[in-house]
Amino acid sequence: MNLDQALHTFVIESRELLEDMEAALLAARGASERSEFVNALFRAAHTIKGSAGLFGLDAVVAFTHVAESLLDKVRAGAVALDDELVELLLQCHDHLGALIDAVDGGDDPSDARWAAPGASLAAHLRARMGQPAPREEALAAVSPANHWHLSLRFGQNVLRNGMDPLAFLRYLRTLGTIRHIVTLPDAVPALDALDPTACHLGFEIGFESAADKEAIEQVFEFVLDDCVLRILPPNARVSEYTELIHAMPEEPARVGEMLVRCGSITERELKAALAAQQAAGTSAPIGQVLVELGRVQPAVVDAALAKQQRVRELKAQESRSVRVDADKLDRLIDLVGELIIAAAGAHTLARRTRNVELMERNETLSDLVERVRDSALQLRMVKIGATFTRFERVVHDVARELGKDIALAVSGEDTELDKTVVEKIGDPLTHLVRNAMDHGIEPADVRAARGKPAQGTVRLNAYHDSGSIVIEVSDDGGGIDRERVLAKAVERGLVEAGRQLTDSEVFALLFEPGFSTASQVTNLSGRGVGMDVVKRNIAALRGSVDMASRPGAGTTVTVRLPLTLAIINGFQLAVGKSVFVVPLEMVEECVTCTADGEHDYIDLRGHVLPFIRLRELFALPGTRGARENIVVVRHGGCRIGLVVDTLLGEAQTVIKPLAPMFARVRGISGSSILGNGDVALILDVPALMQQAGARARPAHAAA
């Protein structure tokens, strides 16, 4: 892995750790026992700091170190994790996120743009610790060695490959002076088992030189793949020597002895370490020994162990999961779509030839293509829980701004949908949540007067329904004043005075551009923008949005979205020579049309079913056939019929976007390529239902 790839991995992992930090901080607010959350915060901060140090990101290291020191005191019980400190740590989380974004964008995180806010937050952190920042923390303590330290273990194949280990040491002397060298004979086997062609040499070297680390590494360039080489700079941190002791294959006490002989630690400290092990009666870990010596803080050892555990867990998962670039997945879906179109063409040709064997082979091919399609789409399916989790912070911040006590309740977070939909639904949901908090939830005194709990609740719920995903944003606030909305619409000329509208139609007015009932403009609302953008963005995803409300009980906004934007199971139908596609999940049944030309509804087993004749709707040429069919479709609990000439049956449908000039055509949501190369239009069922509902209302009233 090159440096750019490693840095990209650092950015990804740091953002994941920041998400964990934010979740832990928000969860700690209402928890009676907070030690688990504090430990999670400390581990995340320490891991970010350690990883940032590998890339020389000093600004990230310095700031995170101050936060880590405070969290260590919180763990020790010296500082209380109250709500004020949670707010401060959330601000620190945001600043760290800005630094990571700067790294990702190729900027220098030590730039003045971030230095001032970072210094201010660091000052507040130090103030909470009750003392100025120490000039030298135990974790940042440096060793007395003012020379480079090399730990070198040659591989057994060095001699077999024609290399002379001592030649590398002689060449090393051309860059500086070898002050100390300790030979490690421990790995040499007994004479009767010794292979004279195998190398068992190891050295601990104290090297004084003005060369840099890269130049020293180049000395061993020809054996880097067949040796273990670790290089520590002059006056390295004690924590780096601790990691070195852990990394070497020998016993920690043996490595410690060699470090003493190289001048890295003192003999007194080594004897004290061995004495501590003997007194304990066990072979204590070297980390514990260094803690007892006062060389490192206990928190450092805990964090190191936690990091090792995380590494082990990640390695265990490597065989089960891999990271794949999103562009590669998109390319795969595109290719699968082309494969489906090609397979449909082959199937059409096979039917024309009436070759039974060829038709059987094509059926097998179609089955395999469908399974490949399902597997490819499954790769892009992600749980919506990650999107829901981010609203913990949104609710927290907005509630503080509004001065309200509001909680977030989440359900259905395991519901899966296409990653593209997840990425694009975040902003509309954010506006709906903020709107529910500002307009929906009443102030605490108003809620108390109405007999409600002082704390309001915003709920996010997701579930699957008829091939779609349904996301509900609801609140237990005061509900919507229907008459006030209607009066505002009449005032603006959106509705004629005296016109009777259903509740659904009245609430739909809230999604009109510029519509607002707020009495004053705030940072959150009142300017009449937002809800129309929400509807437009959801419509761009081939989705729909509806609103329901009860006075005093709250409001629920229901968003329906397709599971995927790429490939669907479709049901093909034809009017004359024109072919249309309906998502198969919406098709309920097909019946013979028995209606005369006077009505646009039928009696379907005792229920009124409004229908639309596609020939008339789209002004298609030709006349009605002797026999017409009605395709009954369902969406969001409503049903309508589509009158067509021919039922062509199920088919995999690759969704192609419409050209911009057709984007506003009502009733059409996309297009697809048929097996014979013709274009089929995909029907926008929700839009058709609105038209059918308007026509059938008098019929419902009569029924």
Higher pLDDT pick, 455 / 53: 455
Which CATH number does 148-295 carry? 3.30.70.260
**3-129 and 567-702 share one fold:** no
Of the candidate ranges 280-284, 332-336, 435-439, 552-556, the one whose mean pLDDT is the lowest? 280-284
498: tokens are 């005296």
136 pLDDT above the threshold of 70: no
pLDDT of residue 475: 93
Which CATH number does 384-562 carry? 3.30.565.10
By CB atoms closer than 10 A (0-12, 13-18, 19+), residue 57 is: buried
Per-residue pLDDT tens for 373-404? 888 888 888 888 888 888 888 888 888 888 89
Closest CA to 138 of 297, 315, 338, 372: 297
In the block, residue with structure tokens 């880590």: 68
DSSP E strands: which ranges in 394-499? 406-411, 416-418, 456-465, 468-475
pLDDT of residue 476: 92
558: tokens are 């229901």
Of the candidate ranges 152-161, 233-242, 373-382, 601-610, the one whose mean pLDDT is the lowest? 233-242
Q: How far lies 247's CA from each of 203, 243, 277, 387, in Å?
A: 14, 6, 20, 39
Percentage, residues of the chain above pLDDT 70: 80
pLDDT band for 46, please (50, 70, 90 cuts). Answer: confident
pLDDT of residue 521: 46
DSSP 629-693: EEEEEEETTEEEEEEESEEEEEEEEE-BPPPGGGTT-TTEEEEEE-TTS-EEEEE-HHHHHHHHH
Domains of the chain: which residue ranges? Answer: 3-129, 148-295, 326-380, 384-562, 567-702
134 pLDDT above the threshold of 50: no
Per-residue pLDDT tens for 460-506? 999 987 667 899 999 999 888 888 888 888 888 888 887 888 888 88
- The reply to whether CATH 3.30.70.20 applies to domain 567-702 is no
Per-residue pLDDT tens for 113-131? 787 788 888 888 888 887 5
523 pLDDT above the threshold of 70: no
Question: Across all residues in the chain, what is the average pLDDT?
Answer: 79
pLDDT of residue 296: 47
Per-residue pLDDT tens for 260-276? 777 665 555 445 444 43
81 pLDDT above the threshold of 80: yes
Higher pLDDT pick, 453 / 253: 453
Name residue 351's beta-bridge partners. Answer: none
Size of the chain in residues? 703
pLDDT of residue 528: 42
75 pLDDT above the threshold of 80: yes
Of the candidate ranges 13-27, 255-269, 430-444, 594-608, the one whose mean pLDDT is the lowest? 255-269
Per-residue pLDDT tens for 616-633? 888 888 887 778 899 999
Whether 680 contacts 341, CB under 8 Å: no
Per-residue pLDDT tens for 193-214? 888 888 888 888 888 888 888 8
**652: amino acid identity, one letter:** Q
Nearest-angstrom CA–CA distance, 564 and 569: 11
pLDDT of residue 524: 52
pLDDT band for 149, please (50, 70, 90 cuts). Answer: confident
Nearest-angstrom CA–CA distance, 136 and 130: 17
**319: amino acid identity, one letter:** S
253 pLDDT above the threshold of 70: no
Name residue 682's beta-bridge partners. Answer: 581, 670
CB atoms inside a 10 Å sphere around CB 186: 12
Of the candidate ranges 25-39, 235-249, 295-309, 423-437, the one whose mean pLDDT is the lowest? 295-309
pLDDT of residue 302: 59
Higher pLDDT pick, 663 / 314: 663
Q: Residue 569: which H helix or E strand, with range? A: strand 567-575
Closest CA to 167 of 154, 180, 179: 154
277 pLDDT above the threshold of 70: no
Q: What angle do CA 156, 160, 162 make, to 5 degrees?
A: 120
643: tokens are 């009158």
pLDDT band for 239, please (50, 70, 90 cuts). Answer: low
661 pLDDT above the threshold of 80: no
CB atoms inside a 10 Å sphere around CB 127: 12
pLDDT band for 186, please (50, 70, 90 cuts). Answer: low
pLDDT band for 522, please (50, 70, 90 cuts). Answer: low
Higher pLDDT pick, 565 / 81: 81
pLDDT of residue 590: 92
pLDDT of residue 227: 87
**CATH architecture for residues 3-129:** Up-down Bundle (1.20)
pLDDT of residue 56: 75
pLDDT of residue 647: 92
